[in-house]
Structure 1
Protein backbone atom coordinates (compact mmCIF):
# COMPACT_ATOMS: atom_id res chain seq x y z
CA UNK A 1 0.00 0.00 0.00
CA UNK A 2 2.83 2.37 0.85
CA UNK A 3 4.42 1.82 -2.58
CA UNK A 4 1.11 2.59 -4.28
CA UNK A 5 0.75 5.81 -2.28
CA UNK A 6 4.28 6.75 -3.32
CA UNK A 7 3.40 6.06 -6.96
CA UNK A 8 0.34 8.30 -6.75
CA UNK A 9 2.60 10.97 -5.29
CA UNK A 10 4.91 10.63 -8.30
CA UNK A 11 1.97 10.98 -10.71
CA UNK A 12 0.71 14.05 -8.86
CA UNK A 13 4.11 15.73 -8.96
CA UNK A 14 4.51 15.03 -12.68
CA UNK A 15 1.09 16.61 -13.36
CA UNK A 16 1.70 19.60 -11.06
CA UNK A 17 5.16 20.22 -12.54
CA UNK A 18 3.76 20.06 -16.07
CA UNK A 19 1.06 22.59 -15.21
CA UNK A 20 3.57 24.91 -13.54
CA UNK A 21 5.86 24.86 -16.57
CA UNK A 22 2.90 25.27 -18.96
CA UNK A 23 1.82 28.39 -17.03
CA UNK A 24 5.38 29.74 -17.10
CA UNK A 25 5.75 29.05 -20.83
CA UNK A 26 2.32 30.18 -22.03
CA UNK A 27 1.42 32.98 -19.59
CA UNK A 28 4.57 34.42 -18.01
CA UNK A 29 6.92 33.79 -20.98
CA UNK A 30 10.10 34.82 -19.14
CA UNK A 31 13.55 34.98 -20.75
CA UNK A 32 15.03 31.55 -21.35
CA UNK A 33 17.53 31.87 -18.50
CA UNK A 34 14.76 32.61 -15.96
CA UNK A 35 12.58 29.84 -17.34
CA UNK A 36 15.49 27.40 -17.00
CA UNK A 37 15.88 28.29 -13.33
CA UNK A 38 12.16 27.66 -12.74
CA UNK A 39 12.45 24.34 -14.55
CA UNK A 40 15.49 23.19 -12.58
CA UNK A 41 13.77 24.04 -9.30
CA UNK A 42 10.49 22.39 -10.32
CA UNK A 43 11.96 19.22 -11.85
CA UNK A 44 14.47 18.70 -9.03
CA UNK A 45 12.97 20.21 -5.87
CA UNK A 46 9.55 18.55 -6.01
CA UNK A 47 10.88 15.00 -6.62
CA UNK A 48 13.51 15.35 -3.88
CA UNK A 49 10.91 16.81 -1.54
CA UNK A 50 8.73 13.74 -2.08
CA UNK A 51 11.76 11.51 -1.61
CA UNK A 52 12.58 13.33 1.62
CA UNK A 53 9.20 12.51 3.13
CA UNK A 54 8.82 9.08 1.53
CA UNK A 55 11.70 6.70 2.21
CA UNK A 56 10.39 4.09 -0.25
CA UNK A 57 11.53 6.34 -3.11
CA UNK A 58 15.20 6.46 -4.03
CA UNK A 59 17.17 7.97 -6.90
CA UNK A 60 20.54 6.34 -6.33
CA UNK A 61 19.84 3.38 -8.62
CA UNK A 62 19.00 5.56 -11.64
CA UNK A 63 22.57 6.88 -11.70
CA UNK A 64 24.34 3.52 -11.80
CA UNK A 65 26.66 3.27 -14.79
CA UNK A 66 26.66 0.32 -17.21
CA UNK A 67 29.46 0.98 -19.69
CA UNK A 68 28.48 -1.82 -22.09
CA UNK A 69 25.01 -0.35 -22.53
CA UNK A 70 26.51 3.05 -23.35
CA UNK A 71 28.00 1.65 -26.57
CA UNK A 72 24.55 0.54 -27.73
CA UNK A 73 23.09 3.91 -26.75
CA UNK A 74 25.83 5.84 -28.55
CA UNK A 75 25.16 3.92 -31.77
CA UNK A 76 21.43 4.53 -31.35
CA UNK A 77 22.07 8.21 -30.61
CA UNK A 78 24.15 8.64 -33.77
CA UNK A 79 21.37 6.98 -35.77
CA UNK A 80 18.79 9.35 -34.22
CA UNK A 81 20.99 12.35 -35.10
CA UNK A 82 21.25 11.23 -38.72
CA UNK A 83 17.49 10.55 -38.96
CA UNK A 84 16.54 14.01 -37.59
CA UNK A 85 19.00 15.87 -39.82
CA UNK A 86 17.95 13.75 -42.80
CA UNK A 87 14.27 14.47 -42.11
CA UNK A 88 14.96 18.20 -41.97
CA UNK A 89 16.77 18.26 -45.31
CA UNK A 90 14.19 15.95 -46.89
CA UNK A 91 10.98 17.52 -45.57
CA UNK A 92 12.11 20.98 -44.45
CA UNK A 93 11.25 22.55 -47.76
CA UNK A 94 7.58 21.65 -47.31
CA UNK A 95 7.19 23.62 -44.06
CA UNK A 96 7.74 27.19 -42.88
CA UNK A 97 10.24 27.31 -40.02
CA UNK A 98 10.48 31.10 -39.88
CA UNK A 99 8.17 31.25 -36.85
CA UNK A 100 10.62 29.20 -34.79
CA UNK A 101 13.33 31.86 -34.59
CA UNK A 102 10.72 34.63 -34.26
CA UNK A 103 8.99 32.88 -31.36
CA UNK A 104 12.27 32.08 -29.63
CA UNK A 105 13.36 35.70 -29.90
CA UNK A 106 10.08 37.32 -28.88
CA UNK A 107 9.01 34.84 -26.18
CA UNK A 108 12.32 33.80 -24.62
CA UNK A 109 14.92 36.28 -25.81
CA UNK A 110 16.84 33.58 -27.70
CA UNK A 111 18.64 34.88 -30.77
CA UNK A 112 21.70 34.28 -32.91
CA UNK A 113 23.96 36.01 -30.38
CA UNK A 114 23.12 33.75 -27.44
CA UNK A 115 21.95 30.58 -29.17
CA UNK A 116 25.32 28.85 -28.71
CA UNK A 117 24.93 29.04 -24.93
CA UNK A 118 21.28 27.97 -25.11
CA UNK A 119 22.24 25.03 -27.34
CA UNK A 120 24.90 23.89 -24.87
CA UNK A 121 22.40 24.05 -22.00
CA UNK A 122 19.72 22.21 -23.98
CA UNK A 123 22.10 19.48 -25.11
CA UNK A 124 23.81 18.66 -21.83
CA UNK A 125 21.83 19.99 -18.86
CA UNK A 126 18.25 20.18 -20.06
CA UNK A 127 18.36 16.68 -21.53
CA UNK A 128 19.70 15.27 -18.25
CA UNK A 129 17.07 17.17 -16.26
CA UNK A 130 14.23 15.79 -18.40
CA UNK A 131 15.62 12.25 -18.28
CA UNK A 132 15.87 12.41 -14.50
CA UNK A 133 12.33 13.75 -14.15
CA UNK A 134 10.34 11.83 -16.77
CA UNK A 135 12.34 8.60 -16.70
CA UNK A 136 14.37 8.34 -13.48
CA UNK A 137 11.70 9.84 -11.23
CA UNK A 138 8.50 8.94 -13.08
CA UNK A 139 9.05 5.84 -15.21
CA UNK A 140 11.43 3.81 -13.04
CA UNK A 141 9.38 4.43 -9.89
CA UNK A 142 5.97 3.88 -11.46
CA UNK A 143 6.88 0.65 -13.25
CA UNK A 144 7.46 -1.01 -9.87
CA UNK A 145 3.79 -0.49 -8.99
CA UNK A 146 1.74 -0.16 -12.18
CA UNK A 147 1.65 -2.14 -15.41
CA UNK A 148 4.34 -1.45 -17.98
CA UNK A 149 1.69 -0.36 -20.49
CA UNK A 150 0.39 2.37 -18.18
CA UNK A 151 3.88 3.44 -17.12
CA UNK A 152 5.21 3.67 -20.68
CA UNK A 153 2.19 5.67 -21.84
CA UNK A 154 2.04 7.98 -18.81
CA UNK A 155 5.74 8.85 -18.92
CA UNK A 156 5.79 9.32 -22.70
CA UNK A 157 2.58 11.34 -22.97
CA UNK A 158 3.65 13.55 -20.04
CA UNK A 159 6.96 14.17 -21.83
CA UNK A 160 5.18 15.07 -25.07
CA UNK A 161 2.45 17.24 -23.51
CA UNK A 162 5.02 19.15 -21.48
CA UNK A 163 6.39 20.59 -24.73
CA UNK A 164 3.03 21.84 -26.05
CA UNK A 165 2.90 25.20 -24.26
CA UNK A 166 6.51 25.82 -25.22
CA UNK A 167 6.16 25.10 -28.95
CA UNK A 168 2.53 25.93 -29.70
CA UNK A 169 3.45 29.08 -31.68
CA UNK A 170 6.50 27.66 -33.44
CA UNK A 171 5.02 25.54 -36.22
CA UNK A 172 1.99 25.24 -38.46
CA UNK A 173 -0.68 22.80 -37.16
CA UNK A 174 0.30 19.75 -39.24
CA UNK A 175 3.98 19.97 -38.34
CA UNK A 176 3.12 20.72 -34.71
CA UNK A 177 1.03 17.54 -34.39
CA UNK A 178 3.77 15.54 -36.11
CA UNK A 179 6.38 16.83 -33.65
CA UNK A 180 4.20 16.08 -30.59
CA UNK A 181 3.64 12.53 -31.87
CA UNK A 182 7.40 12.24 -32.49
CA UNK A 183 8.08 13.39 -28.91
CA UNK A 184 5.70 10.70 -27.63
CA UNK A 185 7.54 8.07 -29.68
CA UNK A 186 10.87 9.40 -28.44
CA UNK A 187 9.57 9.11 -24.88
CA UNK A 188 8.66 5.47 -25.53
CA UNK A 189 12.19 4.82 -26.81
CA UNK A 190 13.74 6.51 -23.77
CA UNK A 191 11.45 4.50 -21.48
CA UNK A 192 12.54 1.28 -23.20
CA UNK A 193 16.20 2.12 -22.59
CA UNK A 194 15.45 2.84 -18.93
CA UNK A 195 13.44 -0.36 -18.66
CA UNK A 196 16.22 -2.43 -20.21
CA UNK A 197 19.21 -0.93 -18.38
CA UNK A 198 17.64 0.46 -15.18
CA UNK A 199 19.48 3.81 -15.37
CA UNK A 200 19.07 7.17 -17.09
CA UNK A 201 22.49 7.44 -18.72
CA UNK A 202 21.52 5.47 -21.84
CA UNK A 203 18.37 7.47 -22.54
CA UNK A 204 20.27 10.66 -21.69
CA UNK A 205 22.89 9.86 -24.31
CA UNK A 206 20.27 9.27 -27.01
CA UNK A 207 18.30 12.34 -25.87
CA UNK A 208 21.51 14.38 -26.03
CA UNK A 209 22.17 13.26 -29.61
CA UNK A 210 18.59 14.17 -30.57
CA UNK A 211 19.13 17.61 -29.08
CA UNK A 212 22.43 17.93 -30.96
CA UNK A 213 20.46 17.39 -34.17
CA UNK A 214 17.72 19.86 -33.21
CA UNK A 215 20.34 22.43 -32.25
CA UNK A 216 22.13 21.86 -35.57
CA UNK A 217 18.86 22.77 -37.28
CA UNK A 218 18.64 25.78 -34.95
CA UNK A 219 22.09 26.95 -36.00
CA UNK A 220 20.94 26.79 -39.62
CA UNK A 221 17.69 28.63 -38.92
CA UNK A 222 19.57 31.40 -37.11
CA UNK A 223 22.04 31.41 -40.04
CA UNK A 224 24.97 30.78 -37.72
CA UNK A 225 26.14 27.96 -39.99
Structure 2
Protein backbone atom coordinates (compact mmCIF):
# COMPACT_ATOMS: atom_id res chain seq x y z
CA UNK A 1 0.00 0.00 0.00
CA UNK A 2 2.62 2.52 1.05
CA UNK A 3 4.77 1.74 -1.98
CA UNK A 4 1.84 2.28 -4.36
CA UNK A 5 1.05 5.61 -2.70
CA UNK A 6 4.72 6.58 -2.91
CA UNK A 7 4.80 5.74 -6.63
CA UNK A 8 1.72 7.93 -7.19
CA UNK A 9 3.10 10.86 -5.18
CA UNK A 10 6.50 10.71 -6.92
CA UNK A 11 4.83 10.70 -10.34
CA UNK A 12 2.69 13.71 -9.39
CA UNK A 13 5.67 15.61 -7.94
CA UNK A 14 7.69 14.88 -11.07
CA UNK A 15 4.86 16.15 -13.28
CA UNK A 16 4.46 19.23 -11.09
CA UNK A 17 8.19 19.96 -11.37
CA UNK A 18 7.95 19.69 -15.15
CA UNK A 19 4.96 22.05 -15.14
CA UNK A 20 6.50 24.65 -12.82
CA UNK A 21 10.21 24.66 -13.55
CA UNK A 22 10.69 23.32 -17.06
CA UNK A 23 7.37 24.68 -18.38
CA UNK A 24 7.52 23.00 -21.79
CA UNK A 25 5.00 23.54 -24.57
CA UNK A 26 1.87 21.44 -24.52
CA UNK A 27 3.20 18.74 -26.86
CA UNK A 28 6.32 18.09 -24.78
CA UNK A 29 4.31 18.24 -21.56
CA UNK A 30 1.83 15.69 -22.93
CA UNK A 31 4.64 13.30 -23.88
CA UNK A 32 6.15 13.63 -20.38
CA UNK A 33 2.77 12.97 -18.82
CA UNK A 34 2.15 9.91 -21.00
CA UNK A 35 5.52 8.49 -20.02
CA UNK A 36 5.10 9.15 -16.31
CA UNK A 37 1.47 8.10 -15.90
CA UNK A 38 1.94 4.91 -17.92
CA UNK A 39 5.51 3.99 -16.94
CA UNK A 40 5.05 4.38 -13.17
CA UNK A 41 2.04 2.00 -12.97
CA UNK A 42 3.83 -0.42 -15.32
CA UNK A 43 6.94 -0.48 -13.11
CA UNK A 44 4.79 -1.04 -10.02
CA UNK A 45 2.75 -3.79 -11.66
CA UNK A 46 5.80 -5.46 -13.22
CA UNK A 47 8.27 -5.38 -10.35
CA UNK A 48 6.35 -4.76 -7.11
CA UNK A 49 2.79 -6.07 -7.00
CA UNK A 50 2.30 -8.14 -10.17
CA UNK A 51 -1.26 -6.86 -10.60
CA UNK A 52 -3.50 -7.14 -13.66
CA UNK A 53 -5.24 -4.04 -14.97
CA UNK A 54 -7.27 -5.67 -17.75
CA UNK A 55 -10.53 -5.61 -15.79
CA UNK A 56 -10.52 -1.86 -15.21
CA UNK A 57 -11.46 -1.32 -18.85
CA UNK A 58 -14.45 -3.67 -18.73
CA UNK A 59 -17.75 -2.34 -20.08
CA UNK A 60 -20.88 -3.09 -18.02
CA UNK A 61 -23.97 -1.35 -19.35
CA UNK A 62 -25.90 -1.57 -16.08
CA UNK A 63 -23.24 0.64 -14.47
CA UNK A 64 -23.21 3.18 -17.33
CA UNK A 65 -26.73 4.56 -16.97
CA UNK A 66 -25.94 6.84 -14.03
CA UNK A 67 -22.67 8.10 -15.59
CA UNK A 68 -24.58 9.00 -18.79
CA UNK A 69 -27.04 11.08 -16.74
CA UNK A 70 -24.21 12.65 -14.73
CA UNK A 71 -22.22 13.43 -17.88
CA UNK A 72 -25.18 15.36 -19.27
CA UNK A 73 -25.73 17.13 -15.95
CA UNK A 74 -22.06 18.07 -15.59
CA UNK A 75 -22.02 19.65 -19.04
CA UNK A 76 -25.12 21.69 -18.26
CA UNK A 77 -23.78 22.80 -14.85
CA UNK A 78 -20.33 23.86 -16.13
CA UNK A 79 -21.64 25.82 -19.10
CA UNK A 80 -24.48 27.37 -17.07
CA UNK A 81 -22.07 28.37 -14.28
CA UNK A 82 -19.80 30.10 -16.79
CA UNK A 83 -22.66 32.02 -18.37
CA UNK A 84 -24.17 32.98 -14.99
CA UNK A 85 -21.08 33.88 -12.91
CA UNK A 86 -18.42 34.24 -15.59
CA UNK A 87 -18.85 37.99 -15.61
CA UNK A 88 -17.78 38.19 -11.96
CA UNK A 89 -14.33 36.69 -12.59
CA UNK A 90 -11.44 37.68 -14.83
CA UNK A 91 -10.57 34.83 -17.20
CA UNK A 92 -8.26 36.86 -19.43
CA UNK A 93 -5.17 35.46 -17.73
CA UNK A 94 -6.10 31.92 -18.82
CA UNK A 95 -5.41 32.49 -22.50
CA UNK A 96 -2.27 34.51 -21.67
CA UNK A 97 -0.85 31.68 -19.54
CA UNK A 98 -1.73 29.06 -22.16
CA UNK A 99 0.00 31.07 -24.88
CA UNK A 100 3.08 31.98 -22.86
CA UNK A 101 3.65 28.74 -20.94
CA UNK A 102 2.33 25.99 -23.23
CA UNK A 103 2.32 27.48 -26.74
CA UNK A 104 -1.44 26.87 -26.90
CA UNK A 105 -3.18 29.48 -29.02
CA UNK A 106 -6.25 30.08 -31.14
CA UNK A 107 -4.85 28.20 -34.14
CA UNK A 108 -4.05 24.95 -32.32
CA UNK A 109 -6.58 25.02 -29.48
CA UNK A 110 -9.07 22.78 -31.30
CA UNK A 111 -6.49 19.98 -31.63
CA UNK A 112 -5.44 20.43 -28.01
CA UNK A 113 -9.10 20.34 -26.93
CA UNK A 114 -9.70 17.03 -28.72
CA UNK A 115 -6.59 15.52 -27.11
CA UNK A 116 -7.61 16.76 -23.65
CA UNK A 117 -11.18 15.47 -24.00
CA UNK A 118 -10.29 11.96 -25.18
CA UNK A 119 -6.67 10.97 -24.56
CA UNK A 120 -5.70 13.06 -21.54
CA UNK A 121 -8.92 12.21 -19.71
CA UNK A 122 -8.33 8.47 -20.26
CA UNK A 123 -4.73 8.80 -19.06
CA UNK A 124 -5.83 10.58 -15.88
CA UNK A 125 -8.61 8.06 -15.23
CA UNK A 126 -6.18 5.16 -15.65
CA UNK A 127 -3.67 6.75 -13.28
CA UNK A 128 -5.85 8.39 -10.63
CA UNK A 129 -8.77 5.93 -10.62
CA UNK A 130 -7.36 2.68 -11.98
CA UNK A 131 -3.98 2.85 -10.26
CA UNK A 132 -4.38 5.29 -7.35
CA UNK A 133 -7.87 4.10 -6.38
CA UNK A 134 -9.04 0.68 -7.63
CA UNK A 135 -5.62 -0.93 -7.11
CA UNK A 136 -5.17 0.84 -3.76
CA UNK A 137 -8.67 -0.18 -2.68
CA UNK A 138 -7.55 -3.81 -2.68
CA UNK A 139 -4.81 -2.99 -0.16
CA UNK A 140 -6.33 -0.54 2.31
CA UNK A 141 -9.58 0.91 3.67
CA UNK A 142 -12.16 2.66 1.49
CA UNK A 143 -11.64 5.93 3.38
CA UNK A 144 -7.91 6.02 2.67
CA UNK A 145 -8.35 5.00 -0.97
CA UNK A 146 -11.06 7.59 -1.55
CA UNK A 147 -9.27 10.49 0.14
CA UNK A 148 -5.86 9.68 -1.32
CA UNK A 149 -7.04 9.33 -4.92
CA UNK A 150 -9.28 12.42 -4.83
CA UNK A 151 -6.62 14.41 -2.99
CA UNK A 152 -3.77 13.74 -5.40
CA UNK A 153 -6.14 14.27 -8.36
CA UNK A 154 -7.02 17.75 -7.07
CA UNK A 155 -3.50 18.71 -5.96
CA UNK A 156 -2.01 17.56 -9.27
CA UNK A 157 -3.90 20.39 -10.94
CA UNK A 158 -2.35 22.99 -8.61
CA UNK A 159 0.84 23.19 -10.66
CA UNK A 160 -1.09 23.28 -13.92
CA UNK A 161 -3.33 26.16 -12.85
CA UNK A 162 -0.83 28.30 -10.95
CA UNK A 163 -1.47 32.02 -11.71
CA UNK A 164 -4.43 31.23 -13.97
CA UNK A 165 -7.16 32.50 -11.65
CA UNK A 166 -7.78 34.69 -8.63
CA UNK A 167 -7.23 32.95 -5.29
CA UNK A 168 -10.98 32.65 -4.66
CA UNK A 169 -11.74 30.99 -7.98
CA UNK A 170 -8.65 28.82 -7.62
CA UNK A 171 -9.81 27.47 -4.22
CA UNK A 172 -13.30 26.87 -5.60
CA UNK A 173 -11.89 24.91 -8.57
CA UNK A 174 -9.56 22.92 -6.30
CA UNK A 175 -12.46 21.97 -4.00
CA UNK A 176 -14.58 21.06 -7.03
CA UNK A 177 -11.81 18.79 -8.35
CA UNK A 178 -11.60 17.02 -4.99
CA UNK A 179 -15.36 16.43 -4.92
CA UNK A 180 -15.24 15.28 -8.54
CA UNK A 181 -12.49 12.83 -7.60
CA UNK A 182 -14.66 11.36 -4.84
CA UNK A 183 -17.60 11.06 -7.24
CA UNK A 184 -15.44 9.41 -9.91
CA UNK A 185 -14.18 6.93 -7.33
CA UNK A 186 -17.72 6.03 -6.33
CA UNK A 187 -18.77 5.41 -9.94
CA UNK A 188 -15.74 3.25 -10.62
CA UNK A 189 -15.94 1.30 -7.38
CA UNK A 190 -19.43 0.05 -8.24
CA UNK A 191 -18.42 -0.97 -11.78
CA UNK A 192 -14.86 -2.03 -10.90
CA UNK A 193 -13.94 -0.18 -14.10
CA UNK A 194 -12.67 3.28 -15.06
CA UNK A 195 -15.12 3.67 -17.96
CA UNK A 196 -17.94 5.30 -15.90
CA UNK A 197 -15.69 8.08 -14.60
CA UNK A 198 -14.03 8.45 -18.00
CA UNK A 199 -17.41 9.21 -19.60
CA UNK A 200 -18.15 11.95 -17.05
CA UNK A 201 -14.57 13.24 -17.34
CA UNK A 202 -14.93 13.50 -21.13
CA UNK A 203 -18.14 15.49 -20.72
CA UNK A 204 -16.53 17.88 -18.22
CA UNK A 205 -13.50 18.39 -20.44
CA UNK A 206 -15.61 19.05 -23.53
CA UNK A 207 -17.61 21.67 -21.60
CA UNK A 208 -14.47 23.36 -20.28
CA UNK A 209 -12.91 23.26 -23.74
CA UNK A 210 -15.99 24.96 -25.18
CA UNK A 211 -15.42 27.77 -22.68
CA UNK A 212 -11.77 27.84 -23.75
CA UNK A 213 -12.85 28.19 -27.38
CA UNK A 214 -15.01 31.16 -26.37
CA UNK A 215 -12.10 32.77 -24.53
CA UNK A 216 -9.83 32.28 -27.56
CA UNK A 217 -12.53 33.50 -29.92
CA UNK A 218 -12.67 30.19 -31.81
CA UNK A 219 -16.47 30.13 -31.39
Query: Shorter-chain TM-score category?
Result: over 0.9
Tell whether 2:212 aligns with 1:223: no
2:44–2:50 CA contact under 8 A, matched in 1: no
Q: Kindly state the Cα deviation for residue 50 of structure 1 after the two structures are TM-superposed.
A: 1.1
Aligned residue runs from structure 1 range 1-225, under 5 A: 7-225=1-219
Number of residue pairs matched by the alignment: 219
User: Which secondary structure state, in structure 2, belongs to the residue aligned with residue 65 of structure 1?
Assistant: coil
Q: Kindly state the Cα deviation for residue 186 of structure 1 after the two structures are TM-superposed.
A: 0.6
Q: Which residues of structure 2 form unaligned runs of 5+?
A: none
- Superposition TM-score, scaled by structure 1 size: 0.95
- Superposition TM-score, scaled by structure 2 size: 0.98
Alpha-carbon distance between aligned partners in 2 of 1:74 and 1:214, rounded to the nearest angstrom: 18
Q: Kindly state the Cα deviation for residue 131 of structure 1 after the two structures are TM-superposed.
A: 0.2
Q: Kindly state the Cα deviation for residue 55 of structure 1 after the two structures are TM-superposed.
A: 4.7
Alpha-carbon distance between aligned partners in 2 of 1:58 and 1:180, rounded to the nearest angstrom: 32
Alpha-carbon distance between aligned partners in 2 of 1:82 and 1:70, rounded to the nearest angstrom: 19
RMSD: 0.9
